[in-house]
Amino acid sequence: MAQATTPHFEPYHNLLADDALAQESAEVLDQQLRQQGLFFGDRPLCSVLRPRFLSLGEYRLISRACCLVGSALDKVRVAAMADANLRSQFGLTAWEEQLIHADPGFPAASPTSRLDAFFAPGEDGLKFTEYNAETPAGAAYNDALSKAFLAMPVMQAFNRSHVALPIPAAAGVVDALLQAYHAWRGRREKPSVVILDWKEVPTYSEFVLFEREFHARGIDAFIGDPRDAEYANGRLTVAGRPVTMIYKRVLIDELVNREGLESPVVRAVRDGAVCLVNPFRCKLLHKKASLAVLSDERQAGLFTAEESEAVRNHVPWTRVMEERRTEHSSGGVDLVPFVAANRERLVLKPNDEYGGKGIVLGWTVDDTAWQAAIRTALAEPYIVQERVEVPSEPWPSLVDGSVHIGDRMLDTAPFLSNGTVVAGCLTRIATDPLLNVTAGGGSNVPTFLVEAR
């Protein structure tokens, strides 16, 4: 659908046939990237000269699907919190099981989240393949890239024939954080915020952008490292500065494995001395098994007819890897033999990794490697997921002073506030089907709404 209904890149690309305009636009973009620190580690965040274009109709479709799938996910979460047998399907560790029951002081398990999808042509071309319910990155990058692209001469020329509007995302993240804080505090007041992660992570440049976003609202915020935290007399400090809210960008696994369950941050959160967003209970839905549990026939009775239809249309067939009988569109199957026999149409994913680690695309390996991957998937928590179509579009870049247009695959990753409200959309492009910037490949581009004047 995305390719068929958004041909606006063609007139945009035609403008880039003017070598002088293309060169000037590339120079402006490079200057903007440097001025705003838009680098992932030492790599520029964006390497192409065009933003992602979505029509308003497409954005509405994405938003509605996210609302229904997000609502269904939360129903699964609520049911799992009350049912240990259902909860066991998520593959929690013993310490995760302990932490998720801590009351965060507000209702949403993931005030800010991101549904990662591929939006291919066809009536049901939108497929959600992962739910980032813990530390969704990219919202502030999207906004800063939007600003950079709006400064480009080619965008100004394009705006003479088209309405092209950025879709802000960072404000939705901050608003969701503040809603959680106000509920936790019991009144509306400004928090003292630490943006918490290890100081050496490559996403540090986005923390700087969020720090500015908080400051623009008159909110005290700074970037801190968990190793600099202290907890005494019911008060948490980071590098000597008092904190009442943690915007948690550090992964829970890394926090606990490096610092332990008795670390200052964990103790302060569990004592209710500080508001943590996203809270520990986000870990349940952040497991890749969440989409498996969601789409499993055993949970069908939890949802409304609309939610069931959305899950059926927009979540690819996904199961936790184990010896069992289950339903597939082809009928009832024995899961492990079915996976072994259908390598070309399946993906194996570890339950709790990120950045593309451990993912095995069946169609990219031979039978021997696939059998080895199945053995690993049965020994460790893994899911299996049906292959989905990965769309591609032509993208222009400046190579040796001339515009080169080449196809790159792209994903569609809308940001959600409180699980159901879409606020902005991350787009990543790459020549590798994993499309993962963290893993060292690909590029981010800002997402714009577009319509011919």
The domain total for the chain is 2
Residues 264 and 382 both lie in one domain: no
Of residues 440 and 390, more confidently modeled: 390
Residues 83 and 17 both lie in one domain: yes
Residues 253 and 370 both lie in one domain: no
Report the pLDDT value the prediction gives residue 434, as an integer from 0 to 100.
62
Residues 43 and 109 both lie in one domain: yes
355 has pLDDT over 80: no
Tokens 């269904």 belong to residue: 72
Residues 107 and 49 both lie in one domain: yes
8 has pLDDT over 90: no
Q: Which of 386, 409, 442 is the last residue of a domain?
A: 386
pLDDT tier, 439 (very low <50, low <70, confident <90, very high otherwise) = very low
347 has pLDDT over 60: yes
- Residue 324 counted as domain residue: yes
138 has pLDDT over 80: yes
5 has pLDDT over 70: no
Number of neighbours of residue 305 by Cβ within 10 angstroms? 7
pLDDT tier, 2 (very low <50, low <70, confident <90, very high otherwise) = very low
Report the pLDDT value the prediction gives residue 121, as an integer from 0 to 100.
76
Report the pLDDT value the prediction gives residue 7, as an integer from 0 to 100.
63
134 has pLDDT over 90: yes
Weakest mean pLDDT among 146-160, 371-385, 406-420, 433-447: 433-447
Number of neighbours of residue 367 by Cβ within 10 angstroms? 10
Residues 13 and 126 both lie in one domain: yes
Q: Which of 353, 370, 386 is the last residue of a domain?
A: 386
Residues 245 and 214 both lie in one domain: yes
In this structure, the strands spanning 331-334 and 325-328 are antiparallel
Residues 20 and 78 both lie in one domain: yes
Residues forming a β-bridge with 347: 361, 385
- Residue 292 counted as domain residue: no
Instruction: For residue 339, give its domain range.
Output: 317-386
- Residue 300 counted as domain residue: no
363 has pLDDT over 70: yes
Q: pTM of the prediction?
A: 0.92
- Residue 306 counted as domain residue: no
272 has pLDDT over 90: yes
Spatial CB neighbours of 453, under 8 Å, sequence gap ≥ 6: 160, 161, 162, 163
pLDDT, averaged across the chain = 93
Residues 204 and 344 both lie in one domain: no
- Helical H runs in 83-135? 84-87, 94-99
Residues 369 and 404 both lie in one domain: no
DSSP string, 356-382: TTT-EEGGGS-HHHHHHHHHHHHHS-E
Task: Give the dihedral of Cα atoms 85, 89, 93, 99; nearest 10 deg.
Answer: -70
Report the pLDDT value the prediction gives residue 124, as an integer from 0 to 100.
82
6 has pLDDT over 50: no
Q: Which of 371, 386, 401 is the last residue of a domain?
A: 386
What number is the average pLDDT over the span 72-99? Answer: 96
Residues 410 and 323 both lie in one domain: no
29 has pLDDT over 90: yes
Tally the C-alpha atoms within 13 A of residue 447's C-alpha that lie toward its C-beta: 27
